[in-house]
Structure 1
Amino acid sequence: MNKIKLAIASLLLGAATGFAQKPFNASGTGNPIIPGYFADPTVKKFGDTYYMYATTDGSGAGFGPAQVWTSKDFVNWTLMPMNWPDSHWIWAPDVMKHTDGNYYYFYCQPCMIHCGVSETPRGPWKNILGESEAVLVPDRFVTNAITLDGQTFVDDDGSVYLYWGTWGIYKGFGCGAGKLASDMKSFTETRLIPNTEATDFFEAPFVMKRKGIYYFMYSSGSCHDHTYRVQYATSDKPMGPYTYRGCILETNIDGTIHGPGHHSVLKEGNAYYMVYHRHDNPHSNRGFHRQLCVDRMEFAEDGSIKPLIPTHDGIGALALSLVKSKNLALGAKVRASSFYDAGFRPEYAVDDNNGTLWRPRGMGQEWIEVDLGVARQIQTIWTQFEYGTQFYQYLIETSADGKHWSVFADKRNNRLAGSPMVDFGKVKARYVRLTFTGGQKNGFGGAVWNLKIFDGVEASAPQQWLGLTAADW
């Protein structure tokens, strides 16, 4: 019955929007764009590379190491480490390039904002004020603005503004805003953008400018349920006053895009894309397992933002892919030692969908086996485990007949974290078997978002945690 309701809802959505909406568990969907639990994304393009800075999620408290996802095509992403912050409370990070040529990294802990500086988008970073956890914006730095979710905006004249706030729904509360001094260490002007201007302001401010109009976007509702959504207001000045304009992104009809919010915007040519997080579906757990998605953002002739239609399709590639080989595992026959339930089936590991995964029933040694149909040359295998920021230990074997097995990659003593995990070799085989043997944290089994098998050497996403490349094999 639930599947029938979902199908009817999807058909209704397609009729209402004029296009057929893919179901959340369709093969090859573009959303989520990242294989893992992350939230509060800031997306930037520096040079020919896209950078996704985000809160590590899935731990129940937003704990995680300093990291950034990078991509050349906006489809194939590699998780990269950073040296700072050295705290595991790294919420809502944002990075901007200043006119001085340096990059500035803002992140928050409850309830304060820190700033780091570097010569590159990935670091090494150092706190701009000296000590590692020196505070740039303390709590209530602006009266009645609770300090969280710092986000920058650079105006046409190079002036840098910072916006921040959470729980701005109380009477007299709202969003803090400030114009940064040229040294980025202090403010020359501050203001409270009250919730009378930004209706229902809760958190996650984001400001952009288009054709002389300043757009102040933010999240409203509860971040734990379907009420989380994106609204906006406009002004002719970066710090307001602002005029409320309405809601532009919310939970979809069938609920499979649930609680979308805390976004940023990427401008590519004349196109605009909104990157946001949504709750993991259909396994949403009070908003603590969020995933990153992207959809096109469009404007009406009068400059207003059209309501976004959130999709499972996403937007696809924004540049030529560096991956030249066909993914032999896509849609292949697959079997496993076990699977948790119907929502975590083995075939979800070979569907190239970052919103579905295979999860074994047990926490011990479990395996998944891919049947390519005929013997094929295999030179690269990518494994996207459930939690890319922790290490997994595993064994990959291949076989021509399903009876006699040879080792392709022995990572049973692995201490390397990353996503994807990349293994190189050269063998002709029909079967590939991945066996999970252990990991960094007890209670986390060998669940896999995607297992990708290539006949060529695919070195565009090497295990960058240690700087290893295909040449090392």
Structure 2
Amino acid sequence: MTGTWLRRLAAAVPAVLLISSVSTAASAAPDFTTAEAGNPFVDGWYADPDVAVYGNTYWVFPTSSRPYAEQTYLDAFSSSDLITWTKHPNILTTANVSWATRAVWAPAPVQCNGKYFLYFGANDIQGNAELGGIGVAVADRPEGPYTDAIGKPLIGQYVNGAQPIDQDVFIDSDGQAYMYYGGHGHANVVKLNENMTSLGSFADGTVFKEITPANYTEGPQMLKRNGKYYLMWSEDYWGGPNYSVSYAMANSPTGPFTKLGKVLSQDSAVAVGSGHNSVLNIPGTDTWYILYHRRPLSRSGANDRQLSYDRMYFNADGTIQPVTMKVKDNFADGNTLGWTTYGGSWSAVTGRYETSSSFGGKALLDTNFSNLSYDADITPRSAVGDCGVVFRVTQPTTGTDSYRGYYAGISATGRVLLGKANNNWTQLASVGMTIKSGTTYHLRVEAVGSSIKVYVDDMSTAKISVTDTSYTTGADGVRVFNTAAGFDNIAIAHR
């Protein structure tokens, strides 16, 4: 666990004891493969998420992704189930920190001594003549309000070339607290004293130890699992597509840390700029998630960043498998974040994506898959028209066939159909099947190269199999024609 009470607990007791000592509510959390209700999991432009478990509640503390002069506050989000999130605005503002004026970044939460601490970077200092660096705030509740604990930066100077930003706090099994931090290509570790508001010394009398691994840029994160220490960090430029996360393992909280590989990288079909992570370990389990920010494919602004999480798996030897950014949405969170609509009326209702009848209304995800497997549950709401999924879509606008791409659907008149649109409609195939209004059907499209197969309910035998070379890549979504419909359990993956 990164910068949290849970990590402290996990490090302090054996795994067997941890299982029996954590709260039943937290340990009963679902075993997700990703944010099953869709990424981004909260609304708004945010970055640099850190995570904590306080009692039975999961907390995420991010940076507000805005121009530096507007980064004068921090928000937080809480959830009891990792599905539905509550926003807590302005938990810390520059009004409560006398020396901070802008660029309030990368909050790191920890509970200790009956208080809630929040470490943060501010002012983006570029040298030791400037005021700013890493501060520490304190509150009586996780949602704050947090106030400056010491009236000055805890670390306000460059040491070993490390810009004082992007701090992470880790408390080891012996109770010793460490802070990992650093930008501008250098990372340091320091000890925190028991009061959590001052720096201690190492056995050799030094206060700062440089631990910079290869290709390090910023955003260090520390976790401990099975007696091994994992340092994670971000590489490349935060405003570009190649931002990514790498890691090292060590037998000591101070290293040495030798890079083993990348954990998280961009996926040109899903999102880019994926980095600055934290890690969540579900209490009492070996279930782990990586929380991070990423940039939607259709956005190029440096601050166009959103919060996401995906499952993180370990190999038998303790190394970390590269994380796959999955695309799913079961609408259990009651929202439609990440979807863009073109015609019709759309809303998340009782765990489904419902739309009224329209002539060609569609909703698209910001994806760009080529070879894919696309699964969806589809419920037609009338005995006329048809409803289904679109894929490899480009140039979408509002209108009946106002897009370029493929459509596979079902009709309550008794047909499974596949066709393509280019501001007109060309049917590629149609077969008979009993379809009833109000009944839910599982539809799958497998598109690999020029081969397109459509399955309905029976996943062993394709209802339709055609060859077509018109469209090779594009966005994915859902569509109706002259019927209302409900959609659920959307899942899209590479083939």
Answer yes or no: is 1:193 the counterpart of 2:205: no
Aligned positions of 1:105-116 closer than 5 A:
105-109=118-122, 110-111=124-125, 112-116=133-137
Letter in 2 for 1:65: Y
Equivalent residue, structure 1, for 2:230: 215
Q: Structure 1: which 5+ residue stretches go unaligned?
A: 1-20, 169-173, 319-324, 336-344, 357-371, 375-473
State how far apart, in whole Å, the 2-side matches of 1:290 and 1:346 are: 28
Equivalent residue, structure 1, for 2:298: 283
Larger Rg: 2
Letter in 2 for 1:178: V
Is the CA contact 2:49–2:277 (under 8 Å) kept in the aligned structure 1?
Answer: yes
Letter in 2 for 1:152: V
Counterpart of 1:69 in 2: which secondary structure?
Answer: strand
State how far apart, in whole Å, the 1-side matches of 2:357 and 2:208 are: 58
State how far apart, in whole Å, the 2-side matches of 1:236 and 1:85 are: 38
Equivalent residue, structure 1, for 2:65: 57
Letter in 1 for 2:290: M
Say if 1:316 and 1:163 are closer, same or farther in 2 by CA, change over 3 A: farther
Equivalent residue, structure 1, for 2:442: none
Equivalent residue, structure 1, for 2:194: 182
Say if 1:62 and 1:211 are closer, same or farther in 2 by CA, change over 3 A: farther
State how far apart, in whole Å, the 2-side matches of 1:312 and 1:210 are: 28
Is the CA contact 1:114–1:136 (under 8 Å) kept in the aligned structure 2?
Answer: yes
Equivalent residue, structure 2, for 1:136: 154
> Residues 401-456 of structure 1, C-alpha deviation per residue, up to 9 Å, x if partnerless?
xxxxxxxxxxxxxxxxxxxxxxxxxxxxxxxxxxxxxxxxxxxxxxxxxxxxxxxx
Is the CA contact 2:219–2:234 (under 8 Å) kept in the aligned structure 1?
Answer: yes
Say if 1:58 and 1:83 are closer, same or farther in 2 by CA, change over 3 A: closer
Equivalent residue, structure 1, for 2:177: 160
Is the CA contact 1:179–1:188 (under 8 Å) kept in the aligned structure 2?
Answer: yes
Counterpart of 2:327 in 1: which secondary structure?
Answer: coil
Answer yes or no: is 1:303 the counterpart of 2:318: yes
Counterpart of 2:187 in 1: which secondary structure?
Answer: strand
Equivalent residue, structure 1, for 2:43: 35
Letter in 2 for 1:90: V
Letter in 2 for 1:137: I
State how far apart, in whole Å, the 2-side matches of 1:39 and 1:59 are: 12
Equivalent residue, structure 1, for 2:257: 242
Question: What's the CA shift for 1:64?
Answer: 5.0
Answer yes or no: is 1:123 the counterpart of 2:148: no
State how far apart, in whole Å, the 2-side matches of 1:96 and 1:314 are: 31
State how far apart, in whole Å, the 1-side matches of 2:219 and 2:254 are: 16
- Specify which structure has the higher proportion of strand: 2
State how far apart, in whole Å, the 2-side matches of 1:226 and 1:35 are: 21
> Residues 241-281 of structure 1, C-alpha deviation per residue, up to 9 Å, x if partnerless?
222211111012x34321110000000022010000001x2
Equivalent residue, structure 1, for 2:53: 45
Is the CA contact 1:145–1:192 (under 8 Å) kept in the aligned structure 2?
Answer: no
Give the RMSD, CA atoms, in angstroms. 3.2
- Aligned with residue 270 of structure 1, among 275, 286, 300: 286
State how far apart, in whole Å, the 1-side matches of 2:51 and 2:329 are: 15
Counterpart of 1:117 in 2: which secondary structure?
Answer: strand
Question: What's the CA shift for 1:83?
Answer: 4.6
Counterpart of 1:146 in 2: which secondary structure?
Answer: coil
State how far apart, in whole Å, the 2-side matches of 1:33 and 1:300 are: 27
Question: What's the CA shift for 1:146?
Answer: 1.2
Say if 1:328 and 1:42 are closer, same or farther in 2 by CA, change over 3 A: closer
Counterpart of 2:354 in 1: which secondary structure?
Answer: coil
State how far apart, in whole Å, the 2-side matches of 1:212 and 1:315 are: 36
Question: What's the CA shift for 1:317?
Answer: 7.9
State how far apart, in whole Å, the 1-side matches of 2:331 and 2:176 are: 33
Aligned positions of 1:217-232 closer than 5 A:
217-232=232-247
Aligned positions of 1:429-444 closer than 5 A:
none
Equivalent residue, structure 2, for 1:333: 356
> Residues 131-181 of structure 1, C-alpha deviation per residue, up to 9 Å, x if partnerless?
3xx2111131x321111111111111221111111121xxxxx20210101
Identity %: 28
Could you list the structure 1 runs, at least 4 aligned residues long, displaced by more than 4 angstroms after superposition.
58-62, 314-318, 345-348
State how far apart, in whole Å, the 2-side matches of 1:329 and 1:249 are: 30
Is the CA contact 2:49–2:63 (under 8 Å) kept in the aligned structure 1?
Answer: yes
Question: What's the CA shift for 1:105?
Answer: 0.5
State how far apart, in whole Å, the 1-side matches of 2:321 and 2:298 are: 29
Mean Cα deviation higher: 222-231 or 203-212: 222-231
Is the CA contact 1:193–1:241 (under 8 Å) kept in the aligned structure 2?
Answer: no
Letter in 2 for 1:147: P
Aligned length: 302
Aligned positions of 1:88-107 closer than 5 A:
89-98=103-112, 100-107=113-120
Equivalent residue, structure 1, for 2:15: none
Is the CA contact 2:76–2:91 (under 8 Å) kept in the aligned structure 1?
Answer: no
Question: What's the CA shift for 1:193?
Answer: 3.0
Question: What's the CA shift for 1:373?
Answer: 8.2
State how far apart, in whole Å, the 2-side matches of 1:300 and 1:315 are: 29
Question: What's the CA shift for 1:93?
Answer: 0.7
State how far apart, in whole Å, the 1-side matches of 2:54 and 2:110 are: 9
Question: What's the CA shift for 1:88?
Answer: 5.1
State how far apart, in whole Å, the 2-side matches of 1:296 and 1:327 are: 25
Equivalent residue, structure 1, for 2:425: none
Is the CA contact 1:55–1:62 (under 8 Å) kept in the aligned structure 2?
Answer: no
Is the CA contact 1:115–1:136 (under 8 Å) kept in the aligned structure 2?
Answer: yes
Equivalent residue, structure 2, for 1:410: none
State how far apart, in whole Å, the 2-side matches of 1:77 and 1:251 are: 25
Counterpart of 1:332 in 2: which secondary structure?
Answer: strand
Is the CA contact 1:60–1:288 (under 8 Å) kept in the aligned structure 2?
Answer: no
Letter in 2 for 1:102: K
> Residues 268-303 of structure 1, C-alpha deviation per residue, up to 9 Å, x if partnerless?
022010000001x23222431100111111111111
Letter in 2 for 1:272: W
Equivalent residue, structure 1, for 2:77: 69
State how far apart, in whole Å, the 2-side matches of 1:64 and 1:77 are: 23
Counterpart of 2:60 in 1: which secondary structure?
Answer: strand
Is the CA contact 1:66–1:88 (under 8 Å) kept in the aligned structure 2?
Answer: no
State how far apart, in whole Å, the 1-side matches of 2:108 and 2:301 are: 25
Say if 1:292 and 1:346 are closer, same or farther in 2 by CA, change over 3 A: farther
Say if 1:94 and 1:44 are closer, same or farther in 2 by CA, change over 3 A: same
Say if 1:47 and 1:156 are closer, same or farther in 2 by CA, change over 3 A: same
Aligned positions of 1:10-25 closer than 5 A:
none
